[in-house]
């Protein structure tokens, strides 16, 4: 197949096949040479005073570019650069911006030797600063960070994990908040006869105010029965129709995001489960509309680690990332795209788990940046990080680099069969608007 994009970097065209979304481009600009080590766990953007940049964190070492550093790196537009002296020992789970600094959380011994920087530290653009977490219990670790304003105290940094103490206070465990100076509780903690942990936090307004959602492994939250997921309104924790569970083994929530699919903003939850409020639901992924749970197609045969909303050129939709290989009978190796009624595979082969995703323009156009423990994806060598590029030639349904009669014929056939490839508006329906969108894309041509 001819690649019609004339990038100066290495790209790989993903050919449209049965079960796969139509042609996507992968770029290994970020992953060649990328990182050595285990994985990328978190991706975010942050401006340290030198402009907005992409940051990656996890368990890795920077390769090439004349820079050295571990667990955290900044993309300068050409190569990955060290952030200060990096983070030493262990691993990093989450990074986010708060009060102008970049905050890192995980299970590391030190942030470039800064006093009080073990497991939780912040980068001010020139140096690492300790946050006096003093989370001394050996197994303590921090897993997620979320900036949230409950409407009363302004934005605070919420900290999730499996810790039993924070800043020397044993009453602060598993979830707490920090206002830039002081740590405090969030309506109680989690409980239950499971390996307790809060793995993910996400804020969203589903129509009744901006709430904070917490997911992980627990049976109660703030004394309220809530299976593995709960919501905080600034005053108390409440269950979400009892929550999510599993017919056998421990269930766990790994990631949440919010998105409006045309029917109102809802919360989308990924992890390891197959029951919602005690009833069967799509395996490892479900939708919460603020009142009840519903399935998302056939779900997945492996854990869903991340959910990201991204417009790949055919309209904004939801992408699922993880260590799955199929959605029902549809092949989907680690990356899948929601088509309105089910999941289309985006990649056909990946040699490791995918843990993180983030939408960012690194100079190749807006892309879905993916991080994990892989070194090769769809035959493209890419060490721990790769980009799915936005496809500006969505009308090229044959994937041959040309727009002609055969693309029109392919669209009409797919439209007649109500195939997702012809659902150009992404609303799960096939009508005049899809025809209009296709004709508009066809007229625009390929770059």
pLDDT digits (tens, 9 = 90+) for 274-289: 999 999 999 999 999 9
Residue 23 in this model has a pLDDT that exceeds 60 = no
The reported pLDDT for the residue numbered 368 is 97
Per-residue confidence band for 437, with pLDDT thresholds at 50, 70 and 90: confident
Question: What are the structure tokens assigned to 218, written together?
Answer: 């627990």
Segment 195-218, tens digit of pLDDT? 999 999 999 999 999 999 999 999
Per-residue confidence band for 18, with pLDDT thresholds at 50, 70 and 90: very low
High-pLDDT (> 90) share of the chain, %: 77
Q: What letters, b where the CB count within 10 A reaches 16 and e where it falls short, cover 83-92?
A: bbbbbbebbb
Pick among 2.130.10.10, 2.30.42.10, 3.40.50.970, 3.40.50.1970: CATH of 12-401: 2.130.10.10
Mean pLDDT of the chain: 90
The answer to whether 278 and 262 have CB atoms below 8 angstroms apart is no
Residue 58 in this model has a pLDDT that exceeds 70 = yes
Residue with tokens 């519903």: 294
Distances in Å between the Cα of 126 and the Cα atoms of 35, 84, 92, 108 are 23, 7, 20, 20
The reported pLDDT for the residue numbered 314 is 79
The reported pLDDT for the residue numbered 68 is 82
Four-CA torsion 4, 7, 11, 14, nearest 10 degrees: -30
Segment 72-92, tens digit of pLDDT? 999 999 999 999 999 999 999
Pairing label, strands 197-205, 190-191? unpaired
Per-residue confidence band for 352, with pLDDT thresholds at 50, 70 and 90: very high
Distances in Å between the Cα of 376 and the Cα atoms of 131, 160, 347, 379 are 37, 32, 11, 6
Q: Indicate the pTM of the whole model.
A: 0.87
Ramachandran assignment for 144, one of left (phi > 0), alpha (psi -120 to 50 degrees), beta (any other): beta
Distances in Å between the Cα of 421 and the Cα atoms of 320, 349, 392, 436 are 18, 21, 15, 14
Which of the residue ranges 12-21, 181-190, 413-422 would you say has the lowest mean pLDDT? 12-21
Per-residue confidence band for 21, with pLDDT thresholds at 50, 70 and 90: very low
Q: What letters, b where the CB count within 10 A reaches 16 and e where it falls short, cover 55-81?
A: bbbbbbebbeeebebbbbbbbeeebbb
Distance between terminal CA atoms of the chain? 16
Taking Cα atoms as reference points, which of 198, 166, 241, 243 lies closest to residue 93? Answer: 198
**Domains of the chain by residue range:** 12-401, 402-447
For residue 440, give the 3-state DSSP assignment: helix
């Amino acid at each position: 197949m001819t690649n019609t994009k004339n990038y100066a970097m290495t790209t790989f065209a993903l050919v449209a096949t049965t079960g796969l979304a139509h042609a996507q481009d992968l770029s290994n600009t970020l992953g060649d040479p990328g990182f050595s080590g285990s994985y990328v766990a978190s991706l975010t953007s942050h401006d340290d005073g030198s402009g907005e940049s992409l940051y990656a964190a996890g368990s890795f070492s920077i390769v090439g570019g004349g820079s050295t550093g571990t667990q955290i790196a900044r993309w300068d537009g050409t190569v990955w650069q060290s952030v200060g002296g990096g983070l030493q020992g262990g691993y990093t789970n989450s990074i986010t911006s708060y009060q102008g600094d970049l905050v890192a959380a995980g299970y590391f011994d030190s942030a470039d030797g800064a006093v009080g920087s073990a497991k939780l530290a912040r980068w001010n653009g020139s140096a690492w600063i300790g946050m006096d977490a003093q989370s001394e219990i050996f197994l303590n670790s921090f897993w997620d960070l979320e900036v949230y304003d409950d409407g009363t105290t302004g934005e605070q940094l919420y900290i999730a994990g499996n810790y039993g103490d924070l800043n020397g206070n044993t009453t602060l465990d598993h979830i707490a908040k920090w206002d830039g100076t002081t740590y405090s509780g969030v309506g109680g903690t989690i409980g239950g006869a499971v390996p307790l942990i809060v793995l993910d936090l996400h804020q969203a307004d589903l129509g009744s105010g901006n709430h904070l959602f917490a997911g992980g492994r627990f049976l109660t939250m703030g004394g309220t029965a809530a299976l593995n997921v709960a919501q905080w309104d600034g005053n108390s924790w409440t269950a979400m129709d009892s929550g999510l569970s599993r017919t056998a083994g421990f269930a766990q929530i790994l990631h949440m995001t919010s998105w409006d699919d045309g029917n109102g903003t809802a919360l989308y939850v990924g992890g390891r489960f197959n029951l919602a409020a005690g009833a069967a639901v799509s395996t490892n992924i479900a939708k919460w509309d603020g009142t009840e749970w519903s399935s998302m197609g056939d779900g997945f045969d492996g854990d869903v680690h991340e959910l990201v909303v991204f417009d790949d050129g055919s309209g904004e939709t939801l992408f699922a990332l993880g260590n799955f290989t199929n959605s029902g009978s549809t092949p989907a190796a680690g990356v899948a795209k929601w088509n309105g009624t089910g999941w289309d595979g985006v990649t056909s082969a990946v040699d490791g788990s995918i843990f993180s995703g983030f939408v960012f323009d690194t100079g190749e156009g807006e892309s879905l940046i993916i991080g994990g423990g892989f070194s090769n994806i769809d035959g493209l060598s890419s060490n721990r990080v790769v980009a799915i590029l936005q496809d500006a030639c969505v009308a090229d349904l044959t994937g041959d680099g040309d727009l002609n009669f055969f693309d029109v014929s392919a669209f009409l056939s797919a439209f007649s069969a109500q195939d997702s490839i012809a659902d150009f508006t992404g609303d799960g329906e096939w009508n005049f608007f899809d025809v209009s969108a296709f004709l508009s894309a066809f007229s625009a041509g390929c770059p």
